[in-house]
């Protein structure tokens, strides 16, 4: 039989995620897309507590801050048009005064530190190897916060710089059962398509080097699943950059197959198959076919006996019937 695509098979991970595992996820916007799947099954995942972080060095800085429960660096606060931010944190973490932001970040770090100590699986999703260096300190920032471009230098991180950065924080992650690296398949076209390819190559090589040096580190090939396995524009949204829901579902199912305990894996894949059949029908709150498919899906999912909490998933499907989503 002829095969018309190169399907990627992932080796099973010895350490398994279960419905009661604690997951911490740090990194680019793509991480949110996978985290949403964890959350719909009520799996405990803390997703980007410092906000979206795209470059690996800033992700490693976040790990250091969280693990040591460090005070945010005093010199990295910035005021832009009356809104205070910090260069190690996302723009959504802001305040009207420096004192208010300091208090808010201190509370956030303390809470995240408590979560970190209980973390079983740490997902680190790298978005780009391009980063911005604060010229006054040579510090790689997570966000420039619309500060003057004169304050920064745009740099392309090297694989060695990324590996060195990981090497420094690796001892701080001894409590974590598994560290899982991911390269986001979302293109960063602001750097141009050709330079995006350079950036992703750097990230992929760095992950390969880290995995070879640290045997307990895993690599989950989300990038390859979209670019080399699915590799078709029908799996991209209209912007031709972000993956569609179908693509995300496929990538998540591959993650479940390789990383989840058998009991939970069987249930989640069964539910995902039911959801796939629903999503194949164009959503129309007033359409009878759409409503009937949702009702059948709810009945099937409710009948599945499992230790996984399905309440949020079922509530979401019921809201779709009512037309509120």
pLDDT > 90? residue 216: no
- Is 130 a member of any domain? yes
- Is 283 a member of any domain? yes
Q: Number of C-alpha atoms within 13 angstroms, CB side, residue 95?
A: 12
Structure tokens given for 181: 């690296």
Predicted confidence at residue 286, as pLDDT, reads 60
268 and 138 in a common domain? no
- Is 51 a member of any domain? yes
**pLDDT band at 3, cuts 50/70/90?**
low
Structure tokens given for 143: 């966000």
196 and 271 in a common domain? no
321 and 248 in a common domain? no
162 and 40 in a common domain? yes
Query: 3-state class of 45 per DSSP?
Result: strand
Length of the chain counted residue by residue: 325
Domain-ending residue, one of 226, 244, 260: 260
Q: In terms of pLDDT, which residue wins out, 126 or 238?
A: 126
pLDDT > 60? residue 2: no
| CATH number for the domain that contains residue 188 | 3.40.50.1110
Predicted confidence at residue 109, as pLDDT, reads 98
pLDDT > 50? residue 145: yes
Predicted confidence at residue 4, as pLDDT, reads 62
224 and 315 in a common domain? no
Whole-number Å distance between alpha carbons of 78 and 84: 6
Q: How many structural domains are present in the chain?
A: 2
Domain-ending residue, one of 210, 230, 260: 260
pTM for the full model? 0.93
266 and 248 in a common domain? no
What are 16-32's pLDDT values in tens digits?
Answer: 999 999 999 999 999 98
Which domain, by its residues, includes 297? 261-325
- Is 315 a member of any domain? yes
Q: What is the mean pLDDT of residues 178-186?
A: 97
Closest CA to 219 of 262, 258, 274, 192: 258
242 and 148 in a common domain? yes
316 and 203 in a common domain? no
308 and 184 in a common domain? no
- Is 4 a member of any domain? no
**Would you say 213 and 163 are in contact if contact means Cβ atoms under 8 Å apart?**
yes
226 and 287 in a common domain? no
What are 36-45's pLDDT values in tens digits?
Answer: 999 999 999 9
Whole-number Å distance between alpha carbons of 324 and 307: 28
**Would you say 58 and 88 are in contact if contact means Cβ atoms under 8 Å apart?**
yes
318 and 233 in a common domain? no
Instruction: State the residue for tokens 């966000």.
Output: 143
What are the angstrom distances between the C-alpha of 92 and each of 22, 133, 143? 24, 20, 11
């Amino acid at each position: 039989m002829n095969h018309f695509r190169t399907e990627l098979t992932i080796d099973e991970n010895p350490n398994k995620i279960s419905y009661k595992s604690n997951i911490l996820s740090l990194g680019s916007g793509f991480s949110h897309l996978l985290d949403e799947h964890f959350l719909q099954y009520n799996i405990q995942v803390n997703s980007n507590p410092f906000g979206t972080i795209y470059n690996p060095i800033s992700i490693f800085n976040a790990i250091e801050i969280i693990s040591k429960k460090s005070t945010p660096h005093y010199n990295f606060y910035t005021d832009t048009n009356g809104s205070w931010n910090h260069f190690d944190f996302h723009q959504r973490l802001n305040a009207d005064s420096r004192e208010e932001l300091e208090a808010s970040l201190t509370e956030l770090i303390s809470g995240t530190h408590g979560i970190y100590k209980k973390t079983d699986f740490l997902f680190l999703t790298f978005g780009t190897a391009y980063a911005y260096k604060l010229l006054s300190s040579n510090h790689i920032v997570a966000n420039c916060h619309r500060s003057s471009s004169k304050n920064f230098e745009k740099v392309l991180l090297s694989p060695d710089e990324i590996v060195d950065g990981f090497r420094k924080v690796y001892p701080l992650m001894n409590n974590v059962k598994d560290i899982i690296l991911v390269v986001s398949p979302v293109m960063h076209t602001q750097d141009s398509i050709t330079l995006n390819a350079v950036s992703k190559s750097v990230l992929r090589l760095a992950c390969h080097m880290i995995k070879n040096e640290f045997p307990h580190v895993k690599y989950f090939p989300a990038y390859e699943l979209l670019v080399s396995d699915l590799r078709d524009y029908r799996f991209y949204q209209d912007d031709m950059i972000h993956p569609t829901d179908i693509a995300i579902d496929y990538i998540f199912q591959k993650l479940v197959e390789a990383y989840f305990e058998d009991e939970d894996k069987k249930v989640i894949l069964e539910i995902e198959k039911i959801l796939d059949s629903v999503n194949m029908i164009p959503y129309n709150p007033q359409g009878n076919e759409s409503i009937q498919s949702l009702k059948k899906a709810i009945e099937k999912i409710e009948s599945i006996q499992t230790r996984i909490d399905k309440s949020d998933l079922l509530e979401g499907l019921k809201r779709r019937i009512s037309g509120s989503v």
